[in-house]
């Protein structure tokens, strides 16, 4: 049954249907509808909702719930995400599953409450201290949350690692029709590592303090081996009109929605523009881009930031192709027509014949 829901509320419902039993959160716009939805929904679902005293407390409650074997989640936006980084680093170090939602707003500092994509670096580079990665999923619509949220809980449990859902203020607050009929609850994983009390088994401990540098190094390599495995197995992306494209737009999340509108207009004028939309920002679809670069020479990166994902595109293309960039930071949400104008200008410049050196 289709219902009209905000992205925040739909995300909460998808989490409950994915087996999330414990939610801890602290109010911050533009994700409050999620916290409020969980406050209403959790008790009836047999779960626990606690409004924590801070984002730091919330992420540590998530860590505690995860240590005890539960599927748990917290959510926030930019400034609150900065506070959660300490806990996310511990979750990664302790190899504990958790899902953390960031409905990104305009930053830095207090910024504003509009939609932005300026937390890409923080999300995809680990974000806290130490050598670690988080899986980062970037949904592009309210309906897509019904796939992204169970996937987030599944990957968290499967790899015992924190997973970030990187949305934005617009995705969180806009209302779209959504149905949950196709949502598949992720399977339960063995959690014999969880702390349940040393009943009928030896005592066990979960910690990240490893004084012996050699052992710490081995622990870090173990994490890295896991991250390489995730890179091999969990890349997800979507392409749009890419087969005959002469210019590929690279955009994610709500940015990709705006870009799609622009591409429709461009296609009406027979400009061969397509798109790749990374769904996993980490692991990044590096191979897919590299493959595209064999036939396409122009890549147009669009972000609602001053340019963060563009660095991953550069790394992926390894000097191949020509990278164009357009970004609007600060919570500005460009209209498709604006993007259409910019892309078409870049397209014509790229195809004005003979100006660029042959590669």
Partner 1 sequence: MKAVYARPKLLKEAHFHYCPGCGHGIINRLLMEVIEEMDLQGDAICVAPAGCGMLLYNYFEIDVVEAAHGRGAAVATGIKRVRPQNLVFSYQGDGDLAAIGTAEGFHAANRGENITVIFVNNGVYGMTGGQMAPTTLLDQVTTTTPTGRDSDLAGHPVRICEVFSVLDGTSYLERVAVNKPAAVVKAKKAITKAFQRQIDGAGFSLVEILSPCPVNWKMGPLEACTWIDEVMARQFPLGVFKEVPC
Residues that bind partner 1 (CB under 8 A): 21-22, 24, 48, 50, 52-54, 56-58, 60-70, 72, 86-87, 90, 94, 195-200, 202-209
C-beta neighbour count of 267 within 10 angstroms: 14
Residue pair 258/300 in contact by the 8 Å Cβ criterion: no
* Nearest to partner 1 of 208, 344 (CB atom): 208
Report the C-alpha gap between 133 and 340 in whole angstroms: 35
3-class SS of residue 282:
strand
Torsion sign (Cα): 302, 306, 312, 314: positive
Determine which helix (DSSP H) or strand (DSSP E) holds 61, and give its type and residue range.
helix 55-67
Give 86 or 176: the residue with its C-beta nearer to partner 1: 86
- 83/187 Cα distance (integer angstroms): 31
Residues paired with residue 48 on neighbouring β-strands, in sequence order: 22
Beta bridge partners of 275: 240, 249
For residues 134 and 147, the answer to whether their CB atoms sit within 8 Å is no
Measured from the CB of residue 52, what is the shortest distance to partner 1 in angstroms? Answer: 7
Q: Of the two residues 6 and 66, which places its CB atom closer to partner 1 in the complex?
A: 66
Query: Considering only CA atoms, which of 227, 219, 11 is closest in space to residue 125?
Result: 227
Residue 184 contacts by C-beta under 8 Å, 6 or more apart in sequence? 150
Q: Which is nearer to partner 1, 44 or 197 (CB)?
A: 197
**Residue 196 or 349 having the CB closest to partner 1:** 196
| Beta carbon of residue 359, minimum distance to partner 1 (angstroms, whole number) | 49
Nearer to partner 1, 1 or 198 (CB): 198
Rounded distance between C-alpha atoms, residue 225 and residue 217, angstroms: 12
Q: Looking at beta carbons, which pairs linking 107-110 to residues 24 or more positions away fall under 8 Å?
A: 107/78, 107/79, 108/78, 109/79, 110/79
Considering the complex, what minimum distance in angstroms separates the CB of residue 310 from partner 1? 33
Q: Which is nearer to partner 1, 90 or 237 (CB)?
A: 90
243: burial class by Cβ within 10 Å (0-12, 13-18, 19+)? Answer: exposed
| Cβ 91 to partner 1 shortest distance, Å | 10
* Shortest Å, Cβ 219 to partner 1: 13
Comparing CA positions, the residue from 21, 128, 127 lying closest to residue 66 is: 21
Least Å distance, CB 113 to partner 1, is 24
- Output the six-digit token pair for 189: 């994983």
Residue (54 or 349) nearer to partner 1, CB: 54
- We find the least distance from the C-beta atom of residue 92 to partner 1, in angstroms, to be 12
Place of tokens 């209302």: 175
Among residues 204 and 232, whose Cβ is nearest to partner 1?
A: 204
Q: Taking the complex as a whole, how short is the minimal distance between the CB of residue 26 and partner 1, in angstroms?
A: 11
Residues 12 and 172: their CA atoms lie apart, in Å, by: 11
Closest approach, Cβ 281 to partner 1, in A, equals 26
């Amino acid at each position: 049954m289709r219902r009209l829901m905000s992205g925040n509320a739909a995300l909460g419902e998808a989490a409950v249907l994915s087996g999330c039993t414990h939610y801890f959160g602290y109010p911050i716009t533009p994700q409050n509808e999620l916290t409020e939805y969980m406050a209403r929904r959790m008790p009836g679902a047999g779960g626990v909702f606690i409004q924590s005293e801070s984002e730091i407390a919330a992420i540590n409650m998530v860590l505690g719930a995860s240590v005890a074997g539960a599927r748990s989640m917290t959510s926030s936006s930019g400034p609150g995400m900065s506070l959660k980084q300490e806990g996310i680093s511990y979750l990664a170090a302790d190899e504990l599953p958790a899902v953390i939602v960031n409905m990104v707003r305009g930053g830095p500092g207090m910024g504003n409450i509009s939609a932005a994509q300026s937390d890409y670096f923080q999300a995809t580079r680990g974000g806290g201290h130490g050598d670690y990665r988080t899986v980062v999923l970037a949904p592009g619509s309210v309906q897509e949350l019904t796939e992204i949220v169970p996937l987030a809980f599944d990957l968290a449990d499967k790899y015992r690692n924190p997973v970030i859902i990187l949305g934005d203020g617009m995705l969180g607050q806009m209302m779209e029709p959504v149905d949950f009929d196709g949502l598949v609850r992720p399977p339960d994983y063995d959690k014999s590592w969880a702390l349940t009390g040393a009943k009928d088994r030896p005592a066990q401990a979960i910690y990240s303090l490893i004084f012996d540098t050699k052992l710490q190094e081995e622990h870090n390599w173990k994490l890295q081996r896991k991250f390489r495995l995730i890179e091999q197995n969990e890349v997800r992306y979507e392409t749009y009109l890419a087969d005959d494209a002469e210019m590929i737009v690279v955009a994610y999340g709500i940015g990709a929605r705006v870009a799609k509108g622009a591409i429709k207009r461009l296609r009406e004028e027979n400009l061969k523009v397509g798109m790749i939309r990374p769904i996993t920002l980490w692991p990044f679809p590096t191979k897919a881009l590299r493959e595209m670069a064999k036939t396409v020479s122009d890549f147009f990166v669009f972000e609602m930031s001053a340019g963060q994902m563009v660095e991953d595109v550069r790394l992926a293309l390894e000097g191949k192709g020509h990278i164009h960039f357009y970004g609007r930071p600060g919570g500005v949400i460009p209209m498709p027509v604006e993007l259409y104008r910019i892309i078409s200008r870049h397209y014509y410049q790229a195809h004005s014949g003979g100006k660029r050196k042959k590669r």
